[in-house]
């Protein structure tokens, strides 16, 4: 029997829930040599990506790879994120989502900009394998 990871299915489910709820899906990613993201936006080896329809084009949430085109500083960039590098997926507005085993959800991007941060309450995250 083939042992399929639940991770890509859970990413797709939380993404769909965010979209259906009118929320903005953010993807937290551990950046390594297999991850293609703008390195100038990586902090402490991690990046948070807005994967809403307003932010990216051609989003594909595959079983092994997440791909899309996003804009960083107005410049288009083709993103390649191995599903295994995903730390978690959550709604920007509420912080609700999932963090995967071994991953700690980093703070939302934007630093002091409260518009880009989930509310100060503790996010409701569940560790999954």
- Over 70: is that where the pLDDT of 112 sits? no
Give the model's confidence band at 121: pLDDT under 50 very low, under 70 low, under 90 confident, else very high.
Answer: very low
Give the model's confidence band at 101: pLDDT under 50 very low, under 70 low, under 90 confident, else very high.
Answer: confident
- Over 70: is that where the pLDDT of 6 sits? yes
Q: What is the CATH number of the domain that holds 57?
A: 2.30.30.220
CA–CA separation, 125 vs 72, rounded Å? 28
In the numeric block, which tokens belong to residue 75?
Answer: 């410049």
Average pLDDT over all residues of the chain? 85
Q: What is the pTM of this model?
A: 0.78
Let me know if residue 107 belongs to a domain.
Answer: no
Q: What is the pLDDT of residues 61-87, one digit of tens each?
A: 999 999 999 999 999 999 999 999 999
CA atoms within 13 A on the CB side of 47: 18
CA–CA separation, 111 vs 127, rounded Å? 25
Q: Are 96 and 124 in contact (CB under 8 A)?
A: yes
Q: Are 98 and 126 in contact (CB under 8 A)?
A: yes
Let me know if residue 114 belongs to a domain.
Answer: no
Give the model's confidence band at 111: pLDDT under 50 very low, under 70 low, under 90 confident, else very high.
Answer: very low
Mean pLDDT of 75-103: 93
pLDDT at residue 4 in the model: 83
Let me know if residue 111 belongs to a domain.
Answer: no
For residue 85, what are the domain limits? 7-100
Mean pLDDT of 22-36: 97
Centre a 10 Å sphere on the Cβ of residue 35 and count the other Cβ atoms it contains: 21
Centre a 10 Å sphere on the Cβ of residue 4 and count the other Cβ atoms it contains: 9
Mean pLDDT of 10-22: 98
If one counts the domains in the chain, the total is: 1
Let me know if residue 120 belongs to a domain.
Answer: no
CA–CA separation, 3 vs 29, rounded Å? 23
Give the model's confidence band at 114: pLDDT under 50 very low, under 70 low, under 90 confident, else very high.
Answer: very low
């Amino acid at each position: 029997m083939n042992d399929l990871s639940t991770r890509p299915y859970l990413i797709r489910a939380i993404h769909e829930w965010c979209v259906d709820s009118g929320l903005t899906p953010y993807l937290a990613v551990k950046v390594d040599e297999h991850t293609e993201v703008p390195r100038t936006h990586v902090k402490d080896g991690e990046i948070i990506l807005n994967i809403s329809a307003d932010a990216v084009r051609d989003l594909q949430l595959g079983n092994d790879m997440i791909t899309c085109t996003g804009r960083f500083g107005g410049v288009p960039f083709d993103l390649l994120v191995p599903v295994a590098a995903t730390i978690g997926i959550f709604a920007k507005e509420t912080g609700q989502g999932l963090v995967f085993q071994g991953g700690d959800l980093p703070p939302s991007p934007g630093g002091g900009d409260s518009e880009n941060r989930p509310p100060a309450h503790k996010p409701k995250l569940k560790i999954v394998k």
